[in-house]
Amino acid sequence: MKQILISLMLFVLYGCATSAVDYDKAKPVPDDRNLLKTDGKFIFTVVRDSGWTGSICYADIYIDDQLAAKLEPSEKVTLRTNENRVMLKVTNSGASMCSHDWGGNYYEAFLELDKHKIFRIHVNNDGKGLQILAGGIYKN
């Protein structure tokens, strides 16, 4: 019975896909969860998908292994760096059910001056936790 309950809880957290959120419709992350504020010349935004899957967990965003922000579903954070190549990582944190260690998902990002890149955080159907993908370029 215990295994069935644990399996059901994991399915609820990770068993279904989430939905992409338009950049303009995503809510800015509150200031207290935007942890890495720099004046770098390379700019990018991370947008977390909407949906209830994994919604009790934060999506922790790391830049070169430094915690940068904690996102809830449908939130975005705009970050800056002085490096044109960064390793982005996403893990989950928060409630005790979020403590399962998926090892995080890494994405090597190549940034360009004057191009505001967008990255997407989602949970897909394979149950491997949060994943980060390139999501396009924002045009002013």
In the chain, % of residues over pLDDT 70: 71
What is the CATH classification number for the domain harbouring 8? Answer: 2.60.40.2890
Host domain of residue 59? 2-138
Model pLDDT, residue 58: 87
Q: Which of 10-14, 26-30, 51-55 has the lowest mean pLDDT?
A: 10-14
Phi, psi of 131 (to 5 degrees): -135, 150
Here the tokens at position 130 are 């949060």
Angstrom distances, CA of residue 107 to CA of 4, 52, 78, 124: 33, 24, 17, 16
Least Cα distance to 53 among 102, 125, 133 occurs for 125
Give the span between the Cα atoms of 31 and 93, in whole angstroms: 18
Model pLDDT, residue 95: 64
Number of domains making up the chain = 1
For 22, what's the count of Cα atoms within 13 Å in the CB-facing half-sphere?
Answer: 2
Confidence of residue 3 (pLDDT cuts 50, 70, 90): low
